[in-house]
Structure 1
Amino acid sequence: MSLDAAMMRATAPAILPGSGGLRGALSDLFWRKPKVLLLLMLLPPVLWLGIVYIGSLFALLAQSFFSIDEFSGLINREFTLKTYGDLFQAANLDIILRTVTMAALVTLASAVIAFPIAYYAARYARGRWKALFYLGIMLPLWSSYLVKIYAWKLILAKEGILTWLLAKLHLLWVLDAWLSLPIVGGNSLSVSFTGTFIVFVYVWLPFMILPVQAALERVPGNLVEASSDL
C-alpha cells in the first residue's frame, strides 16, 4: 500500500460518525448496545410488577401471620397461625366450598358458551362482522366491575326488568318455583346462587372468548378438515 493511500484511509471519516450532544450520545449508545435499550424499556413494567403487584401480595402474605384483637379490633403484629386455624371453622369451610363450586361452574359454563362464539369469529367472521365481534366482546370491558355488578343487581331484583318481563309473559310462576329451590334459589334472583352465577358468567365470558378465538385462528384450516376424517 502506498503512503498516499494509507494517509487517505487514516484521514477518511468514519462510516457512522458519532452524533454530538447528549441526545446523540444516547442514540449512539442504544444503536451500538440494543440490550441497554431493551433493559430501559422493560425496567418500568418490571418494577411495577415487582413492587406494586408482587410486593402487595407479599405484604398480604406477611399480614396473614398477624391476628386481630377481638376486643379492640386492632392488628396484633405478633407471629401466629391463628388466622390459618380459623379457616377450618365450619362457617369458613362452607364459604370456601361455595366459592370453589361457583368458580368451577362459571369456568365450565364460560367455556361451553365461549367456544362456539370464538369458533365462528375465527373461521367465518370477516371484515365488518369481525369488527362487530370484537366490539361486542370488548364493550362490556369498557365499564368498571362495580358498575356492571350494580347494573345486574337492578336487572335481577324483584322490581327489575326481568321480573317485569316474566310478569308480562305470565311466567312469573316459573321464577317463583325456581327461587323456592333450596340451593339455587333465594329471596330474590339478585341475591340467589343463580343470579350470582349469571353475573359472573357475564363478567368473565370475554376473558374466555378472546384467548380461545386467538388460539383457533392459529390452527390451520387444513388440519381441521383432516381431523374430520379421523
Structure 2
Amino acid sequence: MTTAEWPATRTGGGGLRRLSALLWRRPFAALSALVVPPLAWFLLIYIAALAVLFVAAFWSVDPFTGEVVRDFTFQNFQDVATLPTYRHIVYRTVLIAAAVTVTDAILAFPVAYFMARIAGPRLRLVLTTLVVLPLWSSYLARVYAWRLILAHDGALNWALSLVGLPSLAIGYSNWAMWIVFSYIWLPFMIMPVFAALERVPNSYFEASQDLGGRGLRTLRKVVLPLAMPGLVAGSIFTFSLTLGDYITPVLVGGPGSDFIGNVVYANVGVANNIPFAAAYATVPLVMMALYLWLARRIGAFEVM
C-alpha cells in the first residue's frame, strides 16, 4: 500500500467504525436497519399484490366486449357464494386438503419420533436423507410416477392381479388426488415434527416415568403438547399447499375433480375473466386465515 492510499483507507475504516459505534449505542437503529429492507420488500411485493388482487375482485367484465369494467360490484363474490358448481369445488378442495393434512400428521408422527428419539446419529442422517430425497426430483416427475402407478392398467392393479386380487378403480379420481397429495407433502410434515421432537429434553421423559406415567400417558401429556409446534407448522404447509395446487388435479384427477386453482387458471387463461378469478382466489386466503385463527383459539401457538 502506498503512502497516498493510506489516508483514504484509514478514513474509510474510521467511517465504518463510527457507523458501528453509532449502531451499538442505538440498538433500535441497528434493528431497524436489519428489519426495514426485508419488511419493505414484503410490503411491496406480497401485500401490494394481495391488495391489487382484492381490488380487482370487485371489478367486472363487459359481456359484449370482454373488457374489464372498473366499477365496484359484489357480483363476483355473489357468484362464488351462490352458484352450486363453485361452492362444490370449494368444498372438495377444503375437504381433500383437510384429509391430506390429517393423513400426513398420522404418517409423519411415528417417523419423526423414531428419527428424533430412537435412531442413532448415523441412522438419523440416513432417514433424514430419505425423507428429503423426493424433494430433489421434479414435482411433475413425482406426480407422473404416481399416475403410472394408479392408472387402470398401472403398476398397482398389475401387482394386485398377480396375487389374485381384484383391481382398484382409484386412478383419475379424488382418491388418487388424496394419495398423491399425501405423498408429495409428507416431507413438509415430517421435518417440522422431527425438529420439534428433537428439542424435547430427555429429562422430561424421565420425570414422566418417575411420576408413574406409562407410554400412552407420556405420549398424551408430554410428547404431543411439545410436538404441537411442529404439527401446526407442518399442517400449515400441507393444508395451504393443497389448497393452492392445480397441477395434480389435472394430472391424476378425473372428471369433476377441479380445485380452486383450476377455476382461477381457467378464468385467467381461457375465459379471460380476471375479476372473477381474483374473487375466487380470495377463498384460499380466507380459508387459511380461518385455519390460523382456529389454531390460535385451541392454543396451538401458545407452546411455540
- TM-score band by shorter chain is 0.7 to 0.9
Flag the 1:226–1:169 CA change in 2: closer, same or farther, 3 A: same
Look up the match of 1:134: 128
- 1:211 deviates by 1.3
Quick one: distance in 2 between partners of 1:134 and 1:44?
Answer: 34
> Is residue 186 of structure 2 the alignment partner of residue 205 of structure 1?
yes
Look up the match of 1:6: none
Quick one: distance in 2 between partners of 1:94 and 1:123?
Answer: 43
Quick one: distance in 1 between partners of 2:126 and 2:120?
Answer: 10
Quick one: distance in 1 between partners of 2:94 and 2:153?
Answer: 30
Quick one: distance in 2 between partners of 1:211 and 1:157?
Answer: 32
Q: Deviation digits for residues 166-216 of structure 1, max 9, x if unmatched?
A: 333333x141xxx3xxxxx5xxx1x21111001111122112111111111
- Name whichever of 35-44 and 112-121 sits farther off: 35-44
Look up the match of 1:22: 12
Quick one: distance in 2 between partners of 1:48 and 1:32?
Answer: 25
> Is residue 144 of structure 2 the alignment partner of residue 154 of structure 1?
no
Flag the 1:154–1:112 CA change in 2: closer, same or farther, 3 A: same
- 1:63 deviates by 1.4
Flag the 1:126–1:50 CA change in 2: closer, same or farther, 3 A: farther
Q: Select which of 160, 169, 172 maps to 1:166.
A: 160
Look up the match of 1:214: 195
Give the TM-score taking structure 1 as reference length. Answer: 0.75
Quick one: distance in 2 between partners of 1:163 and 1:131?
Answer: 34
Quick one: distance in 2 between partners of 1:61 and 1:99?
Answer: 21
Does the aligned pair in 2 maintain the 1:118–1:209 contact within 8 Å?
yes
Q: How many residues align?
A: 199
| Mapping 1:40-189, distance limit 5 Å | 40-87=33-80, 88-171=82-165, 173-175=166-168, 179=169, 185=170, 189=171
Flag the 1:94–1:158 CA change in 2: closer, same or farther, 3 A: same
- 1:79 deviates by 1.2
- 1:115 deviates by 0.6
Query: What SS is found at the alignment partner of 1:33?
Result: helix
Quick one: distance in 1 between partners of 2:91 and 2:181?
Answer: 17
Give the TM-score taking structure 2 as reference length. Answer: 0.58
Question: What is the identity, as a one-letter code, of the residue corresponding to 2:195?
Answer: A
Does the aligned pair in 2 maintain the 1:30–1:37 contact within 8 Å?
no
Question: What is the identity, as a one-letter code, of the residue corresponding to 2:16?
Answer: L
Over the aligned positions, Cα root-mean-square deviation in angstroms equals 2.4
Quick one: distance in 1 between partners of 2:61 and 2:13?
Answer: 55
Quick one: distance in 2 between partners of 1:169 and 1:131?
Answer: 36
- 1:72 deviates by 4.1
Larger radius of gyration: 1
Does the aligned pair in 2 maintain the 1:156–1:162 contact within 8 Å?
yes
Q: Note the residue ranges of structure 2 that are not aligned, 5 or more in a row.
A: 1-8, 214-304
- 1:71 deviates by 4.1
